[in-house]
Amino acid sequence: MPSHSETHGYQINPRDARELRRATLIVGMNPNLEPWLEAWAKANQRTDTLLWLYPEPRDHDARAPGSDPHAWTNPAEAKKMVRVLADRLAGISPEIDTENSYKQYVKEIDQVDLRLREWFAELPRERRAFVSQHANLGHFAARYGLRVPGTILTSSSAESADPSARHFSGLLALIRREQIKVIVTDAGQNDAFARRLTEDAGLPPPLALSFEYLEPAGRPGDTWLSMMLHNGRRLHEALRR
């Protein structure tokens, strides 16, 4: 996934296809999140080389419990995924000490998890709720005792038609009722609806986060560890204000 791209509706280009055909192992998150990858693997008889790290939820409705494919935003789930990946890599390259790398990486995940827990634990109850652009932070919120009582987009995709006027007034009422101060948008996606919401509700401009892709190497957010800390820090700072 290139930086600043949209994961859900991504289209494989000829360069991607070339890379995928050469790969010994293709790692995906979930077929609901990356339907384009599943379609490519089926069409090219490469489902054997495709490893889904979080294969369970097949239901496309993001509101159904357990169906949110954005499980990598919860370090506890990420650790399970690293286990799955380590086992697969050990089978492919038995000469490499995968187990040692696995243990080292899990330690780093635990450190990130601890930092995030410390930050969000200090927030009072009334500062733990926010509205997000699409339903991608349920796993994150559950891990850190936060709440996402509403989303701007009602499908699980980050890219869908403009929400209705009725949804707008519903969200505005929710923001007032729940005393929500923070609207999170997906960096790089259309935030016109979110901006109108913050203006009408008298809130600061939307907070653009990027839990959906990694930044180019050398920038904050260029690895999963750094992406979690970078976005977590910014969300924490916005909530505590």
Which residues are near Zn ion by CB under 5 A?
A: 136, 158
Cα 48 to Cα 136: distance, rounded to the nearest angstrom: 28
Least gap, CB of 6 to Zn ion (angstroms): 8
Nearer to Zn ion, 158 or 183 (CB): 158
Least gap, CB of 205 to Zn ion (angstroms): 21
For the chain, how big is the Rg over CA atoms in Å?
Answer: 19
Nearer to Zn ion, 86 or 141 (CB): 141
Least gap, CB of 138 to Zn ion (angstroms): 11
Least gap, CB of 211 to Zn ion (angstroms): 8
Least gap, CB of 207 to Zn ion (angstroms): 16
Q: Inter-axis angle of helices 75-92 and 98-121, to 10 degrees?
A: 170
Nearer to Zn ion, 10 or 120 (CB): 10
Residue with the closest Cβ to Zn ion?
136
Nearer to Zn ion, 98 or 133 (CB): 133
CA distances from 74 to 12, 68, 116, 125, 165 (A): 27, 12, 10, 20, 33
Least gap, CB of 111 to Zn ion (angstroms): 25
Distance spanning both ends of the chain, measured CA to CA: 33
Nearer to Zn ion, 119 or 140 (CB): 140
Least gap, CB of 186 to Zn ion (angstroms): 7
E-assigned strand segments in the chain: 26-28, 50-52, 129-132, 147-151, 183-186, 207-209
Nearer to Zn ion, 46 or 188 (CB): 188
Contact 124, 238 (CB under 8 A): no
Nearer to Zn ion, 131 or 158 (CB): 158
